[in-house]
Structure 1
Amino acid sequence: MERTRRDLLARTGATLTAAGSIGVAGCLDFAAGDGPQGPEGIPETLSCGDGEFVRLAPPFDGDVEGTLVETGETTFELSAEGNSETYGQALRLVLRNTGDEPATALGRHAYSIQRETASGWLDVRGSTTGETVELPRSEETLDSTGAYSWSIDLEETSIASAVPGLDLSVCPPLGPGTYRFVYWGIVDAPPLGARFELIG
């Protein structure tokens, strides 16, 4: 009799545990399925209700070239895994020195993630301290065949935390639309850009 009661309790506990797991999984699935919550298409501009938010200014002048640029001595190519990405999935890119000579770059964090608006291209990130901040720069040599690679999950927290040591945020939330990744850190060369569509 004792064994039967113990078996019954064990079975009940296992059933409750399984039901609890299903409930949690359901919540996680629902949260993960929320998708992008920001404005769709090409908004007039990017507005943030946080009074302490100061959007990152583009640290470059002039137009963004395509995915290939030539410096005085060598050539760089920016390649992306795709041009249509789902919210929450990883944006994967590689910047390569495809020429024969070394060149100076400003480090792996010398990039912008911008959204197309009617007011122009704007970085989706900004400082949360109420003050203007600059992205870190550190000069280093990229030899022939040298490369930087990135894998950034396309959701607000991952984009904001991709640069260590800075309190950044994404505001407003990402929405379906046209974005671009811009690497502006090749010294004496125009920035390179790779466009992509963010979908739900």
Structure 2
Amino acid sequence: MRRISRRSTLRGIAAAGAAGIAGFGGCLGDPGTGADGGSDPDPETAVHQVGGALSGPAWRRTERPGFVTLFDERDAVEWLLRDAPPETVGFVDDTDFEESVLAYVESVGRNTCERLVEFADVAVDDDTLTATAEATAGDDAEGDVGCGQAITYAGAFLRVTADPLPASIRVEVTDGWGTSTELTGEDGVRDPAALDGFVRPDDDPPNVPPALSCPDDGFERHPAAYEGEVNWGSGGGGGGGSGLELRVVDPEDDGDSDDPNDALRFERGDAFRVEMTNVSARPVGVGNRSKYNLEAETEGGWTDVRGSDDGRFEYTDELVPVRPGETVEWSFAMDEAGIVAEHPNDDLRVCPDLRSGRYRFVLFGADDVAVAFDHVA
């Protein structure tokens, strides 16, 4: 069994139970004094082993060996505590955020014994919390303890008390297979480059039709609910910021395609979906899932293909939290009925009929984030 070295090791002692493992925090070391006002080579620390991945896990072990984030206020931790054991909630509640910060680190082990996250070399360097962290079995697994052959996710809180408090985090995380990567709080839980789908074609549209005109009396077109330019593929929530990634996904694509022009070309009746993923390490608030425009590129500009005879396009004013790693989906089919099938407004319809050309989905319930795709006859 591979063992972490004993150098400056910080380990939360844990007790195994039928439902998993919950550790308690212990203080290690005395508060250090930063000579330059921004560094502390030996801050006061305490570790709490969670015994699982509170994030879900929201990250994928094929993309990275773990997940790292830093909390400087109690409310920011709340999204992780939804299914946390009482001991974990207590550890967080016992943290005085006037004097301390909480680092949270997850990794993954090869077997059921590697269920701890072990920290070493903890320091505050130029207002950045630095450390190493490794998925390990710890000393309690020595001897004849049997280790089940199951991939096991582990998480741990590291409380750091220092003066000044660190404002950022950088941790070298090593998983049970020995894969190491330096992670920061800016990395989030997902790599945008590894998401399914594409943002938009990079070639010219197959056709640019004249401005849309519906021959039906009384038809009122859905207005554009955003102003100015859109954000292609990436943006923030209703309150700004960042962390949302939007993609168009072909359900028939096996993931091997690296050509957006081919993957984003749909014939009449073809199914496709739009996926919005929160890749950040914080919940992001968005409007309800009906807040989007679905537009065609025409000679008169981008125009929504949908409308209704009563001209009522009302949306509730609400903020819906999207957890880190969570994906929200919209499913469509490339025809008049399939474009509006999932919308709650039963009176919404397409007029005139869809033509060959370029289309885009604009989520105005967030930071006006858009993706595009082509319809070919």
Relative to total residues, which structure has the larger helix share, 1 or 2? 1
Identify the residue that residue 335 of structure 2 maps to in structure 1: 155
Change (3 A) 1:61 1:157: same
Report whether the alignment pairs 1:184 with 2:364: yes
Identify the residue that residue 314 of structure 2 maps to in structure 1: 134
Q: Which of 104, 121, 124 pairs up with 2:285?
A: 104
The answer to whether the 8 A contact 2:243-2:284 is kept is no
Tell me how far 1:138 sits from its aligned partner: 3.8
Structure (1 or 2) with the larger CA radius of gyration: 2
Q: Which moved more, 1:66-75 or 1:139-148?
A: 66-75
Q: Distance in 2 between matches of 1:155 and 1:87?
A: 6
Tell me how far 1:132 sits from its aligned partner: 3.8
Change (3 A) 1:136 1:43: farther
Identify the residue that residue 213 of structure 2 maps to in structure 1: 47
Tell me how far 1:185 sits from its aligned partner: 1.0
Relative to total residues, which structure has the larger strand share, 1 or 2? 2
Change (3 A) 1:159 1:102: same
Q: Distance in 2 between matches of 1:63 and 1:73?
A: 17
Tell me how far 1:70 sits from its aligned partner: 4.3
The answer to whether the 8 A contact 2:290-2:344 is kept is no
Aligned residues: 157
Change (3 A) 1:70 1:132: closer
Identify the residue that residue 78 of structure 1 maps to in structure 2: 246
The answer to whether the 8 A contact 1:73-1:101 is kept is no
Change (3 A) 1:50 1:136: farther
User: Which 4+ residue blocks in structure 1 deviate beyond 4 angstroms?
Assistant: 70-73
The one-letter code sitting in structure 2 at the alignment partner of 1:76 is L
Tell me how far 1:160 sits from its aligned partner: 2.6
Q: Distance in 1 between matches of 2:344 and 2:318?
A: 14
Q: Distance in 2 between matches of 1:105 and 1:83?
A: 25
* Unaligned segments of structure 1, at least 5 residues: 1-39
1:159 is paired with a residue whose SS is helix
Task: Give the alignment's TM-score, normalised by structure 1.
Answer: 0.72
With a CA cutoff of 8 Å and minimum separation of 6, indicate the structure with the bigger relative contact order. 1
Task: Give the alignment's TM-score, normalised by structure 2.
Answer: 0.39
Per-residue CA distance 1:84-143 (angstroms, 9 max, x = gap): 1111111212101101111211121111110001111000000122x3423555421112
Q: Distance in 1 between matches of 2:230 and 2:241?
A: 20
Identify the residue that residue 13 of structure 1 maps to in structure 2: none
The one-letter code sitting in structure 2 at the alignment partner of 1:116 is E
Amino-acid identity (%): 30
Aligned-residue CA RMSD (Å): 1.9
